[in-house]
Homo-oligomer: A and B are copies of this chain.
């Protein structure tokens, strides 16, 4: 169990970035932060399976691609990729814009909710692989 489970976190608010990083690290995950949709898509394209899950906000200040786009891109690369969205105002759009078998965490949420969401999706995805 020497290798880390790396989670790609897409979030442009530095405060929220560090809160999420602490939550995931406490759960034993490694978090890599992207601060825009374009940044995230670039990392996914170069990843070669490095990332095991995506945790993404919906809107980024300086980004044409939003969180819905990033998740869709991740699923084009791997149809079983675990996806967790986080949003305040956009939680209601999940039913029309989210991908299947994803989880929407409406902000605010407790740290345990994020760790449980990521763990649950990873545990469900494993055997199907």
Give the size range of A's interface with the partner: 35 or more
- The count of identical subunits is 6
Q: Give min CB distance, A58 to chain B, whole Å.
A: 13
Binary flags per residue of A90-120, CB closer than 8 Å to B gives 1, else 0: 0110111111111111111111110111111
Contacting pair B108 A2 (CB below 8 A): yes
Interface residues of A in 22-42 (CB under 8 A from B): 23, 26-29
Contacting pair A127 B112 (CB below 8 A): no
Stretch binding the partner chain, chosen from A43-51, A59-67, A71-79: A71-79
Contacting pair A75 B96 (CB below 8 A): yes
Of B92, B108, B116, B127, the residue contacting A98 (CB under 8 A) is: B127
